[in-house]
Structure 1
Amino acid sequence: MTPSAYRNPLEQNTTLAVFNDDECIFTSEKKWLHPLFDLESFLQNFENHSVLSAHDTAIGKAAAVLMTRMGITFIHAELISRLALSYLEQFCPQVTVSYSHVVDRLMCATEAQLESLSDADEMYYLLRKRAKLTQGVSLQLDHVSHPYGNLCDISFSLSPGDRLMVTGENGTGKTTLLSLIAGILKPTSGRIFIDGRAAGKQKKRTVGFIPQFTVQPHFSLSVSEVVGLGLDVHTKNKAKEIEQALERTSSLHLASRDFATLSGGEKQKVSLSRCLAQHAKLLLLDEPTASLDSENKQMVVDIVRSLTLTEIPTIIIVTHDPELTSLARWNTFCLKEET
């Protein structure tokens, strides 16, 4: 059945109305993209939708990206930009679009930001960041130095949800840099701030660190117990959280194993599960694919990619792996011997 109700005039002050078939299931009076992000949350708990349609007061390219991502296939706009129309025609031919008025582009910064982009995932990531819908925290390094790796006068900053790839030859201090940020080492000079607080002063479990070589515990722990270390003792449904984290890394079959008996690659996957269960806001990964076969390397790449579209923590990865360094539009920081 082709819906029709979505083309009816909007109620006064309503900026967005969404229909399941011809039943109105969602309305909003908010501005910008906030109604669509609210709709996204609403649809996560709305079951058995069939044909979704929407009536919006103004649709630019950003709104077109979000609507089609949510499976809306019939769209009516009172005002739409040619930039949005071009995107829908080129990448979403299954969507039926109607409109009352058309302009070249909407007069907003978001329209300009997306103008040259075509990757829907990348645009979604940028929109979530712009709306401050990220799990990540800010990070700032001011003139940080340490003798290990001969790190000298390192300065950079990341905003919540940023993604940074740290590269460089062996011995240039990449692991030392992560250890400093994680609070395992202290800088001999300079300062590190996480979420606006001096490193070590942030809330517990803010930082999730996966070292290249997993430290062997001095006592026996099962895999489930290791993953559970990432959870607060008061976490509800702790067993479910652990199970879901292990499932994401294809490690659920290891749940009852003694962590000490695992291979290096298995330990890496379990450590990643721990950080996922932890919902770390700053994720530090030191050569996360180094001990993995090609299938599990791809699994890590897929998880990292999914994190940038779901939780969106701030992520720093040290790697030489071309599968990771080829991830699109990551910032890169290269450490050199003379650094």
Structure 2
Amino acid sequence: MMKDRAKKKITIHDVAREANVSISTVSHVLNGTAKISDATRQRVIEVVQRFNYVPNGYGLRGRDKNSKVVGVMVADIKNEFYARCVQSIMNVALQENYTTMICEMAFNYKKECMGVDALLDKGVDGIIFIGGSMDGNIIRKANKSVPVILCDRKIAGSSLPSVTTDNVSAMRNLISLLKEWGYTKIGLLSETLEMDNLKDRCLGFKAGMEENGLKQYKEFMLFHPDLKLDKATAANCFLREHLERHGTRKLPEVFVTTSDLIAAGAISALRKYGIRIPGDIGITGFDDISLAANLDPPLTTIAQNMEEMGLYCFRNILNLINGTAIGVPHSVIDAQIVIRKSVIDRRMPAWNKMKKSC
């Protein structure tokens, strides 16, 4: 074993595995930052000495000394929503002389575990989780070592600090607007409801439909797990397959989607079948990434304030790091409806003219 390990640099992962303890336990033993049993402490020390393990510059630090580094675990760095949240965090962190270390989870449990372990190994002062998988145990484990903040993510039954959009109110307001504009058959196109933010959007959708006396058509509620990553491409493929199976006549008057990228893929799929937007069907998005205003037609969407979400994430975690937080910080950011041209007020003369030209 020693011969094999000599070929590569020994890491805290190797020490933890050999001592049969967690990464955080090794870190606590090395830093003296928590009560560890004498037997466990001795076992870790023996492995450290046997492997001649030398902690990196961040991983070994005094109890009262901060590394001035914050870790960020992000669900999908290619998605502009997540990227702009991260950019905001980095900008605010720089103002406080902090740097950031970023790991992508890609909705993958193993990648999330490895990312968290790596950040703890580097001795970050706290970790911000933006989106991600359902499993909360990874986050709870990280929180035993450092403060954490959840962004665009909640864990049921947990009081962990969070920064979220008011997804329920945003969806309810959108349904009310669509009803006011004459839409009555409204569909929902979304990835499967694994994350709480998506559950809230669906809850807001259903509440808005009920409040406005609108029937919820099961055949217009479309969900698919592949829409988590590569959303535009996956949505395009999914909706084209749906249209091939069910035809173009059984469609709602408008599709509400849970992402601008899903909406973009849906628009492309509908056009392949000669379906005009908004003449034949309306469509809305969620996020208001830069693509939304540049689609044809420009996309009506719900705008999340990504810059403000990043700002609150860093401010809240900095307060937790410095011990200045009052209670458990939970920040809820309002979202705004941005009206463009992918839906139309069906009460207006322009709609009647468009309808006659079909």
Question: Shorter-chain-normalised TM-score: which range?
Answer: under 0.3
TM-score of the pair, normalised by structure 2: 0.26
TM-score of the pair, normalised by structure 1: 0.27
> Which structure has more strand as a fraction of its residues?
1
Give the number of the structure whose alpha-carbon radius of gyration is greater: 2
